[in-house]
Structure 1
Amino acid sequence: MRFFVELLRGRTRKLLLALALSVATLLTGMALLGVSGWFLTATYLAGIGALFNIFIPSSMVRGSSFLRILSRYGERVSGHAATLAILSDLRVLVFSRLIPLVPIRDAAARTGDFVARLTGDIDTLDMVVLQLVLPVAAALVAALGLGVVLAFVLPEAIIPAIGGLLATTLLVPFVLSRLGQAAGTEAVGRSAHLRTLALDGADGHGDIVALGIAPLVSGEFDKAARDLRAARLRQARWTALGPAAMQLGLGLTMAAVLWIGLGAHATGRISGPMLVSMVLLILATFEASGPVLRGAGRLGAARAAARRLSAILQAEPAVDEPRVPAVLPASGALSAGHVGFRYGDRPVLTDVSLTIEAGERIAILGESGSGKSTLLALLIRLADPGEGAIRLGGINIRDVATSELHGRIALLTQDTPVFIGTIRDNLRIGAPDADDATLYGALARARLDEFVRRLPLGLDTWLGEAGATLSAGQARRLCLARTLLAPAAILLLDEPTAGLDPDIEADLLADILTATSGRSVVLATHAALPEGAFDRVYRMDAGRLAAA
C-alpha cells in the first residue's frame, strides 16, 4: 500500500487537522470520565452536610462535555473530508494510469473489471484513514497521556494499563486482520466478479437476448451473487470478533489496574476517588480501540483491493514516453515506412508503407480484421510497430511526447463513446475552453446544431448513458463535432458510419467530408465512397496495403 501512503502525504494538512480533533475528542473524553468518577465518588464519601467545593469539578465536567461535542463533530467532518479527498486523488491516479494501458494491448481486458477497480476496490480503502490511521495515531497520543498521569498517581499500573491498551489497539487487530485476510481477499474478488458480470451483461444485453442465452447469463449472475454473500459472511465473522476483543481487552486492563489500585489504596497511597478516576480514565482511552477493532476484519479486503489497484499502477504502458521529447515542425507529412505489427504470434500488419501529405484525403477499404484499425491506432501511437517506423514531419513519433502528437492527430472510431453528462460536457472534451459560439460552430459542421437549438436546454441538455437519448446517427454526429473541435490537422476516421442505415451512412459520410475540409483525412471504411472525394484509395488485405 505504498501508493496509498504517498496519497496520504499529499493530504497532510487535512489529516493533521482530523488527527488533532481526534486526539482532542479522546483527551476530552478522558477528562470527562476521569473528573466525573473522582467527583461523584468524592461527593458520596464526603457525605451530606460536609463542606465540599462542587463548582470547579462540575465546571470541568460541563466544559469537557461541551468541548468533546465540538471536537467530535469537527473530527467526523474533517476525517471524512480527508478520506474523500484521498479517494478522489486515488481515482484520478488510477484512471490516469488506465488511459495508456487500454489501447490495443489491453483492448481485450474486461471493462467491468476496470470499473470494479475504480469503484469497489477504491471504496474498500475508505476504512484505512477512518478506522486505522487516525484511531491508531490518537491511541498512541492517549497512551502517552495516560502514562504521564499514572506516573504521578499510580506508577505501578503503567505497564498493565499501557500494555493492555496497545495490545488491544495494535496487536489484536493485526492478528484478526491476518486471520481474516483470506476471507477479505475472496470477498474483494467475488465483488469484482459480480460487478464485471453486471456491467458486461448490461453492455451486451442485445446480444444476450438475440442469442437466447439470458437464462444462462442470469444463472451465472445468481451464482456469483451467492458466492459473494458466502464470502461476505465469512468476512463478517472475523469482523464481529473485533468488538468482542475490545471488550475483553478493556475488561482485563481495568481489572489489572483496579487490582493494583486496591493494594495501593489499602496502604493509603491513593484515595478512593482517585482510584475510581484512574479506572474510568482507562475506560475512556479504549475509545480509540473501537474503530480499529471494528475495521480489523476488513483489513484483509483492503490489502486485496490495494494489490488489485497496485497492479494497474505498476503495469507497463502500451507506449513509453521519450525522456527528452523532440519538437515537431509546424507542418509535415505523416508517413509509415515498412511497418509490421503482431498480436502475440499472429501477424496483423506486414510491410505497410503509406504517406499522407498535408491536406490529402486517403481512404482505406478492407474486410473486418484485415488490419485497418490497427494501422490507424499505430499512426496515432496507441501502440508501437514491431517493425518499421512512423514519422510526422520527418520525426519518428516514438521521439515525440504523446500529448503533442495527439494535438496534431485525432482519431474518431465507430465506438467513440458519448459520456453521461450534458452536450456541452461532451463537446468540451475536444476543446475544454471553447465558448458556446465555437461549440455551435462544430455542431453546424456536423449538421447537428439545429437539433440542439430546438432542445429546451440546448447545450445543457443532459445525455443518458452512452448517448441513450440520441439516435445512432445523432450520437456519431456529436462525436464528429467533438473531434472537429480538436486542433488536430490530421484526422483518422475508423469506420465512423459502421452500423448505420445506408441512407444515414451516406449522409453522414458526405457531411464528414464537408466538415473536414482543409485537414488531412485517413478514412477506414466499408461504406461506398463518393466518386472523386478522395485523393487516393487503398485496400487492406490480410495486413498488406495496396492501391485499390
Structure 2
Amino acid sequence: MSEHVSSRGNAPSQGPLREILEVWRPFFGRLAFGMILSLAAVAAGLALMANAGARLSGMALGAGLAFYGLRAIGLGRIILRYAERLYTHDVTFRALAALRVWFFRQLARGAAAGLGFRRTGDLLTRLVSDIETLDNLYLRLAIPLAGAVITLPILMWVGLTTGPAIGIVVVILFILAAFVAPYVAARATRPSGELILTRESALRESALDLAQGLREARAFGAERMLARAVTQRQERLFAAQRTRAGQLALAGGFSYLIGQIALIAVVLSALGLGLPRTSPLATIALLFLTVAAFESVSGLVRAGVLAGEVSHAAQRIVEIAHEAPAAKGTAPLPSGTALALEHVTFRWAADRAPVFDDLSLTIAPGERLAIIGPSGAGKSSLAALLLKAAAPQSGRILLDGVDIAALDDDALRSRVAWLSQHTHLFADTIRRNLTLGRPDMSDDALFAALDRAAVGDVVRSLPEGLDTWLGEGGMTLSGGQGRRIALARTLLSDAPILILDEPATGLDAETERAFLTTLYETTTGRTVLLIAHRLTGAERLDKVWLLQNGHLAAQPV
C-alpha cells in the first residue's frame, strides 16, 4: 500500500468531523452531561487550590481559620472527578460503538457492498484503529478545551483582583498555553498523524496476508518474504511513531515551560521584582490557582498533536459515506426473469480502463450459460452489476424489460441469488450460517436445503447437528462440505436467477465435478449464470461466452 498524505493543507478538515458529530447526535445529551461533570470537577479543583492558598497564607499571618469548607470542596472534587471519568468513558464507548454500526451500514450500501473489492486490512484499520482514535475528540480535546474556557474567566478575575499587571501577564500566558499553542501544534503535526494511520493500515494488510496465506507461503517457501514485508512496514510505522513521540515531548515541554513562567511571574509580583508588588495573601491564592489552572490544560498542547490523527481518522471513516451507492428505486418488481445488458460500459475508477465497453447480453428465463475468461477480465464485476452493488457509467441492465436501477435493492435480490468462490462461512453454528437475516426458518426447511446440496446426511451425523460450531471460515469441514453448506444457504433464497461466481475454486477435480453435478441438479428450472476461468461440466450448459478486453464472444458448447 502506498503511503499518501493529504495535500489539502495542514489545517484540520472540519467537514468529516461534522459528519461524525451528526452520527453522535443521539448522544449529545449524554456527552453534554459528561462535560458538565467535567466542568464541575475543574471548578471544584480551582476552588480547592485557591482556598488552600488563601488559608495557608492566612495561617502564616496568624489568622484563625476553619477548614470545614475546604474539606467539603476537596471531597466534592474527588467525587466529581470519579463520576466524570466513569461517565465520560462510558458515553464515549457507546458513541464509538454507534459509529462502528454506522460505518458498517455505509460500507454495505456503497459500491463495494461486500463483494470483496476492498482491502481487508484497510477496512479493519478504519473499523478498529481509526474509530478508536476518535475517542480523543471528546476525551482529550473537547472536555479539556471546555475546562480551559471556564478556567479563563476565573483566572482573569482572581488575577486582576490581585493586581492588574500580574493578572494580565498570567492571563496572556494561559491563553498561549490553552489555545494558541494547541492550535499551532495541530497545524504543524497533522502530516505525521496522517502518516501514522496510513502506515498502521499498511502494516495490518501485511499481517493479514501473512496470517491468511501462511499455508501457501510454507508450500512455496515464501514465509521469510512475507515476514520481511511485515517487519519493514512495522519499522516504518515505528519511525512515524517516534517522530510523533518527539512532537508530543516537545509540545509537553513547551506547555510545562509556559506554566513555570507564569508561576515565576506570580512570585516576582509578590517580591515586587519587575512587576508592581501585590498583597502576599492574594498573591499566594493566585499562585495556587495558577498551578491548578495550568495543570488542567497541560494536556491540551499534546492533544493538539493528536488532532491531526483525529482529523485524518474522521476523514478516512466518512469517505465510506461519500461513495455513491447504487441507485435506489421504487418501481414494482416485474413478474418475469429475463435478463438483458444493453450497451453497458463500466469501470471501477475514472483512472482505470473499462471493465466492460459497450457490452450487450441477453439471458432467457431458465437458460444456463457460462461466461469464461482470464483472471481480471471483469467476470466478478458482472455479478456486482447484476446485484446492484455497482452501477454502469452508461447503458442499462434490464430485468424483464425494467431497468434494475428503478427497482428496490432488496426486491431485486429476492430474484437474484449469488454464490461465489469466496462465500464466507462465519465462525458460528451451521444453523446461524444458513439463516443469515432469516432466523425464523424451521429445521425442516434447513435440512431440505442441505439435502438438495447433498450435505444433509453429513450434518445429521454430527453430534450437535445444525448447532455444530463451524469455526473460522468453516475450518471444521472439508472444502467440498463447506462449499455445499454455502450452496444450501443460497438455495434457501428460492431466487429464480442464480449467479455462480467461480463456485468450485479450490476443490480438486473429482470434488469439483461432484459439486457442479449437485449444483445443476438442484437448480433445475432456474436461470443459471456460471462465471469461471475454465469450463467444467459444459454438457449441462446452453451457451458459453468468452469475456476478454471488455467484450463477449460466443464459444461452442
- Kindly tell me the number of residue pairs found equivalent between the two proteins: 531
SS at match of 1:76: helix
What aligned pairs does 1:530-545 form with structure 2 within 5 A after superposition? 536-540=542-546, 542=548, 543-544=551-552
Cα distance per residue 1:242-272 (max 9 Å; x no partner): 33223222222233344445669x99984x4
Residue of structure 2 in register with 1:128 after alignment:
137
What aligned pairs does 1:21-36 form with structure 2 within 5 A after superposition? 21-36=37-52
Q: 2:299 aligns with which of 277, 291, 295?
A: 291
Residue of structure 1 in register with 2:35 after alignment:
19
Please, what TM-score do these two structures have when normalized by structure 2?
Answer: 0.83
Residue of structure 2 in register with 1:496 after alignment:
503
Distance 2:78 2:36 in 1: 14
Distance 1:146 1:441 in 2: 76
Distance 2:203 2:86 in 1: 32
1:436–1:285 distance in 2 versus 1, CA, 3 Å: farther
Q: 2:412 aligns with which of 405, 422, 429?
A: 405
SS at match of 2:500: strand
Check the 8 A contact 2:16/2:318 in 1, yes or no. Answer: yes
User: In the alignment, does 2:276 pair up with 1:276?
Assistant: no
SS at match of 1:478: helix
Distance 1:365 1:175 in 2: 58
Distance 2:114 2:447 in 1: 36
Residue of structure 2 in register with 1:145 after alignment:
154
Q: 1:37 aligns with which of 21, 28, 53?
A: 53
Report the alpha carbon displacement of residue 386 of structure 1 after superposing the two structures with TM: 5.4
Distance 1:140 1:460 in 2: 57
Aligned letter for 1:83? T
Distance 2:68 2:444 in 1: 66
Report the alpha carbon displacement of residue 397 of structure 1 after superposing the two structures with TM: 0.8
What aligned pairs does 1:329-408 form with structure 2 within 5 A after superposition? 329=333, 331-341=335-345, 343=347, 344-345=352-353, 348=356, 351-357=359-365, 360-364=366-370, 366-369=372-375, 372-385=379-392, 388-408=395-415
SS at match of 1:327: coil
Distance 2:277 2:177 in 1: 31
Report the alpha carbon displacement of residue 280 of structure 1 after superposing the two structures with TM: 1.0
1:390–1:166 distance in 2 versus 1, CA, 3 Å: same
Residue of structure 1 in register with 2:8 after alignment:
none
1:382–1:313 distance in 2 versus 1, CA, 3 Å: closer
Residue of structure 2 in register with 1:3 after alignment:
16
Cα distance per residue 1:219-260 (max 9 Å; x no partner): 232222222212211110110123322322222223334444
Report the alpha carbon displacement of residue 22 of structure 1 after superposing the two structures with TM: 0.9
Aligned letter for 1:364? A
Residue of structure 2 in register with 1:214 after alignment:
223
Report the alpha carbon displacement of residue 134 of structure 1 after superposing the two structures with TM: 1.0
Distance 1:377 1:179 in 2: 43
Aligned letter for 1:214? E
Cα RMSD for the two superposed structures: 3.5
Check the 8 A contact 1:431/1:486 in 2, yes or no. Answer: no
Distance 2:49 2:285 in 1: 7
Distance 2:441 2:166 in 1: 70
Cα distance per residue 1:312-365 (max 9 Å; x no partner): 443x43x5424xx232235222321444445544564665322332xx252325
Residue of structure 2 in register with 1:474 after alignment:
481
User: In the alignment, does 2:116 pair up with 1:98?
Assistant: no
Residue of structure 2 in register with 1:76 after alignment:
85
Check the 8 A contact 1:22/1:134 in 2, yes or no. Answer: yes
Check the 8 A contact 2:547/2:553 in 1, yes or no. Answer: yes
Check the 8 A contact 1:239/1:296 in 2, yes or no. Answer: no
Distance 1:97 1:157 in 2: 54
SS at match of 1:540: strand
Report the alpha carbon displacement of residue 15 of structure 1 after superposing the two structures with TM: 1.3
For structure 1, the residue ranges without an aligned partner over 5 or more in a row are none
Q: Percent identity?
A: 31
Cα distance per residue 1:386-424 (max 9 Å; x no partner): 564221232101222333322332211111122344444
Q: 1:251 aligns with which of 251, 257, 260?
A: 260
Q: Which moved more, 1:479-488 or 1:18-27?
A: 479-488
Report the alpha carbon displacement of residue 109 of structure 1 after superposing the two structures with TM: 5.1
SS at match of 1:493: strand
Aligned letter for 1:475? G
Check the 8 A contact 2:341/2:396 in 1, yes or no. Answer: yes
Check the 8 A contact 2:270/2:278 in 1, yes or no. Answer: no
Check the 8 A contact 2:326/2:388 in 1, yes or no. Answer: no
Aligned letter for 1:505? E
Distance 1:120 1:444 in 2: 43
Check the 8 A contact 1:413/1:494 in 2, yes or no. Answer: yes
Check the 8 A contact 1:23/1:142 in 2, yes or no. Answer: no
Cα distance per residue 1:8-36 (max 9 Å; x no partner): 35121221122011111111111222222
Please, what TM-score do these two structures have when normalized by structure 1?
Answer: 0.84
SS at match of 1:491: strand
Residue of structure 2 in register with 1:308 after alignment:
316
Check the 8 A contact 1:372/1:524 in 2, yes or no. Answer: yes
Q: Which moved more, 1:424-433 or 1:123-132?
A: 424-433
Distance 1:139 1:363 in 2: 69
Report the alpha carbon displacement of residue 296 of structure 1 after superposing the two structures with TM: 2.9
Distance 1:289 1:267 in 2: 27
Check the 8 A contact 1:328/1:395 in 2, yes or no. Answer: no
For structure 2, the residue ranges without an aligned partner over 5 or more in a row are 1-13
Aligned letter for 1:332? G
